[in-house]
Structure 1
């Protein structure tokens, strides 16, 4: 089994998804896999998140699935029970990090400044989410942090087709997170062809 970092490097872009109806999760996963992005970060911003993850995991056992916007230990438990490969949090919460370590699940917490990077390193973390990427200084801030700290980043927040290659060109970046290829309205309307086109566009950009 490849390490999470290697899997992320292979995929390059992680679709960040807020799904309202778990019944649509399997079809969405199929669209992602068939069009070149075999990964999903399903955010706990909706009540259906855990069920959506469980549905994806049952249908596609080998898909790389993360739980995003995880804020507490209860959500960590729900995500693990649903079958996630990794946890993502928007900020750096030492309590949540410790709990993930106790549960033996990898967490990629959000940081956007030197102090938070150092706190994360102190807890043994080597892969961090740079969030919100663009409002926090974008590629230039990421390069500044990377020059000082021996960690890897997954920038998320404001990443889009016009700048994704700039982020991916930074040596410390393992992958980027993005929502633009999985807009909520297309998922809700089950516009799978349009979603497939957006996903394929991303796959072509990063190929």
Structure 2
């Protein structure tokens, strides 16, 4: 039986928001990560959606003290190995299969497998995994769905991601089964294009200040 290496006070408790980062230019990786960390968001999910994602992950892991950098959009066992080799300190997937779950469990780093149905949550709980990504959050029922899950499945904790912004995040964070939310509103595309890291730090600080009601 698989079990999660994450203690209950792990990734979900580092900050109220887990930034979901898409790095188009590897040169932006380190200053962007520094701005997020300075703003109080140490955990950073670098998604494998661009050719330079692994290089960006490697650069952040090696050059940004205080960053807890992980890989997102992990889809295959091969990617699990590549990401850990590049310095990933955690793994996030939009969904899971038996092969992917086995690879993540065997990686030696914490992981958040993605779920969007009750059956998927129960299947992971059977395997000892208690912390999960709820994706796509808004499209899959949002806070109403998670609130309904808290009754029969209180042992499951979530990082809802997908369609969440600064205005809706507090509603998610108020739920007892939500440890943090994933989002990218603190990394607006125009700020990245302008390399306005100061603005991103301010937005990160605002996100870090969000607390459950």
Interval containing the TM-score (normalised by the shorter chain): over 0.9
1:203 Cα deviation from its structure 2 partner = 2.4
Q: Which residue of 2 is the match for residue 162 of structure 1?
A: 167
Higher relative contact order at CA 8 Å, sep ≥6: structure 1 or structure 2? 2
Establish whether residue 53 from structure 1 lines up as the match of residue 30 from structure 2.
no
Separation in 1, partners of 2:198, 2:38: 12
Superposition TM-score, scaled by structure 1 size: 0.92
Separation in 1, partners of 2:175, 2:114: 18
Q: Which residue of 2 is the match for residue 28 of structure 1?
A: 32
Separation in 2, partners of 1:185, 1:76: 31
Establish whether residue 143 from structure 1 lines up as the match of residue 120 from structure 2.
no
1:61 Cα deviation from its structure 2 partner = 4.5
What CA RMSD, in Å, does the superposition of the two structures yield over aligned residues?
A: 1.8
Separation in 1, partners of 2:103, 2:12: 23
SS in structure 2 at match of 1:206: coil
Aligned residues: 206
Establish whether residue 193 from structure 1 lines up as the match of residue 191 from structure 2.
no
Q: How does 1:1-207 map to 2 (within 5 A)?
A: 3=7, 5-149=9-153, 150-206=155-211
CA offsets, 1:144-185, max 9 Å, x none?
112111111110011111111111111111111001111344
Higher relative helix content: 1
Unaligned runs of 5+ in 2: 1-5
Unaligned runs of 5+ in 1: none
Superposition TM-score, scaled by structure 2 size: 0.90
Separation in 2, partners of 1:78, 1:185: 30
Separation in 2, partners of 1:35, 1:192: 10
SS in structure 2 at match of 1:177: strand
